[in-house]
């Protein structure tokens, strides 16, 4: 309904004189989402984006420009920037470093513990070693959660290290940010209020149509730090945007008013319902995990922290065969009864599910497990 309305009205969401009410809608949603993170909505700011990749790009650029004030005009040659992330960081973060001209090698991957969470002690050591080597640490990225198995980095502890070292903390909560709507699940993001920036996708655990991302900054001025340009024909005579314009903090000028989708959803259903939907997805993931624990032919590789579950299909030979997993997934797709993806975690090819539909429950879990078992049996029978 809202998508249809946006197509009919075609508002341009970056400038207040082109869509004054739309810009106010985005501003209101940004501040309400900032309050969920724990930021002061009176001083926080942010922008609606197309998704996690663009949100991460803007956050990294803002952090870079704060640490290296001449980077926008002169680049980072000779500055030796250094950033830190989990070894399971989302691919978009490495992509951002390539786009921003710092190179993906400027990211130091910190190894994770048995549950897939960044090891904070190793982070502290890596920052120290980088400085001894003459590099310039400026950023830490915490995952909430990681992509492979859905592990949540200890944001509070990471934030304490980043703050002590004078580094920007960005929380990539593109997948898990929607858990903030749930009082029961919110502790998974404990410590997020100390972050400098926080990204979240509406089209993931806030159940919005694609595409919709959100980026929030604890300090409102940081929202305008990523891009440093004067555009007099769009803005004022001095090239400065007003307090209501989003163009100075957005990668795009022409943007749909995707903020309206969440504004309408939030007003219609409220935080409790949105949180309840997230809780149901997590409960379904745990039900799936338990089925795998009890199944002779499948083996989960972790206890799910949220709605993501990775697992193995047991081969009769007892080996963990990457090719077997690839073939099983292909067979499953041909049968058309269920859909899983493949991922690699700690060098091993695994099957992965992300339970994203709050209307699903035990019945759908049983159907997926049955489809997996049938695909496995069919594959083995075919030799």
**pLDDT tens sequence across 108-134:** 999 999 999 999 999 999 999 999 999
Predicted pLDDT of residue 227: 86
Please state, in angstroms and as integers, the Cα–Cα distance from residue 211 to each residue in 3, 173, 206, following that order.
11, 16, 12
- pLDDT band of 231, cuts 50, 70, 90: low
Q: Once rounded to an integer, what is the mean pLDDT over residues 359-371?
A: 97
pLDDT at 335 over 80: yes
- pLDDT tier, 146 (very low <50, low <70, confident <90, very high otherwise): very high
Residues of the chain with CATH 3.90.1150.10: 271-381
Q: Is the dihedral of CA 243, 249, 254, 260 positive or negative?
A: negative
Could you read off the pLDDT of 160-201 as tens digits, one per residue?
A: 999 999 999 999 999 999 999 999 999 999 999 999 999 999
The interaxial angle of helices 52-67 and 91-99, nearest 10 deg, is 50
Q: What pLDDT score does 235 carry?
A: 59
Contacting residues for 275 by C-beta, under 8 A, at least 6 apart: 179, 181, 182, 183, 184, 185
Query: Angle at the Cα of 26 (from 94 to 93), degrees rounded to 5?
Result: 5
320 falls in which pLDDT band (50, 70, 90)?
low
Q: Which residues contact 78 (CB under 8 A, 6 or more apart)?
A: none
- Token look-up 């080597």 returns 133
CATH architecture classification, 2-257: 3-Layer(aba) Sandwich (3.40)
Q: For residue 255, is pLDDT > 90? A: no
% of the chain surpassing 70 pLDDT: 94
Residue carrying structure tokens 């594959």: 379
Q: Using 50, 70 and 90 to split pLDDT, how confident is the model at 76?
A: confident
DSSP annotation of 107 reads: E
Q: What is the pTM of this model?
A: 0.94
Beta bridge partner(s), residue 170:
141, 197
Task: Give yes or no for residue 239 having a pLDDT over 50.
Answer: no
Residue 319 has pLDDT above 80, yes or no: no
Burial per residue of 192-227, b for 16 or more beta-carbon CB atoms within 10 angstroms, e otherwise: bbbbbbbbbbbbbbbbbeeebbbbbbbbbebbbbbb
Pairing of strands 81-86, 136-143: parallel
**Class of the CATH domain delimited by 271-381:** alpha beta
Q: How confident is the model at residue 37 (pLDDT cuts 50, 70, 90)?
A: very high
CA distance linking residue 126 with residue 84, whole number of Å = 8
Distance CA 359, CA 204 (A): 15
Parts of the chain belonging to CATH 3.40.640.10: 2-257
Provide the token pair at 215.
């980026």
- Burial degree of 134 (CB within 10 A; 0-12, 13-18, 19+): exposed
């Amino acid at each position: 309904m809202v998508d249809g309305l946006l197509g009919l009205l075609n508002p341009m969401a970056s400038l207040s004189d082109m869509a004054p009410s739309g810009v106010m809608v985005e501003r209101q949603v940004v501040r309400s989402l900032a309050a969920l993170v724990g930021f002061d909505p009176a001083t926080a700011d942010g922008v609606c984006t197309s998704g996690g990749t663009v949100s991460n790009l803007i956050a990294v650029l803002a952090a870079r420009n704060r640490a290296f004030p001449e980077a926008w005009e002169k680049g980072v040659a000779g500055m030796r920037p250094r950033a830190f992330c989990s070894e399971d960081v989302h691919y978009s973060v490495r992509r951002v470093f390539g786009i921003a001209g710092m190179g993906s090698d400027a990211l130091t991957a910190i190894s994770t513990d048995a549950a897939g969470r960044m090891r904070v002690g190793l982070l502290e050591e890596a920052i120290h070693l980088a400085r001894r080597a003459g590099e310039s640490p400026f950023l830490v990225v915490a995952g909430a959660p990681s992509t492979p198995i859905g592990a949540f980095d200890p944001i509070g502890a990471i934030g304490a290290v980043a703050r002590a070292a004078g580094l920007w903390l960005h929380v990539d909560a593109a997948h898990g940010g929607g858990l903030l709507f749930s009082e029961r699940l919110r502790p998974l993001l404990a410590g997020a209020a100390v972050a400098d920036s926080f990204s979240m996708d509406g089209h993931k655990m806030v159940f919005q149509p694609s595409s919709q991302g959100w980026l929030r900054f604890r300090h409102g001025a940081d929202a305008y730090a990523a891009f440093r340009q004067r555009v007099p024909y769009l803005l004022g005579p001095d090239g400065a945007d007003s307090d209501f314009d989003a163009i100075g903090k957005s990668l795009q000028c022409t943007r749909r008013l995707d903020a309206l989708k969440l504004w309408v959803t939030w007003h219609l259903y409220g935080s409790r319902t949105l949180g309840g939907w997230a809780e149901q997805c997590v409960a379904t993931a745990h039900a799936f995990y338990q089925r795998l624990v009890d199944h002779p032919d499948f083996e989960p590789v972790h206890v799910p922290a949220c709605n993501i579950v990775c697992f193995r299909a047991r081969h009769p030979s007892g080996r963990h065969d990457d090719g077997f997993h690839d073939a099983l997934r292909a067979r499953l797709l041909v049968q058309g009864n269920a859909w899983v993806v493949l991922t690699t975690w700690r060098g091993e090819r695994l099957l992965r599910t992300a339970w994203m539909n709050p209307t699903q429950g035990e019945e759908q879990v049983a159907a997926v497990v049955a489809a997996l078992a049938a695909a496995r049996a069919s594959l083995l029978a075919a030799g």
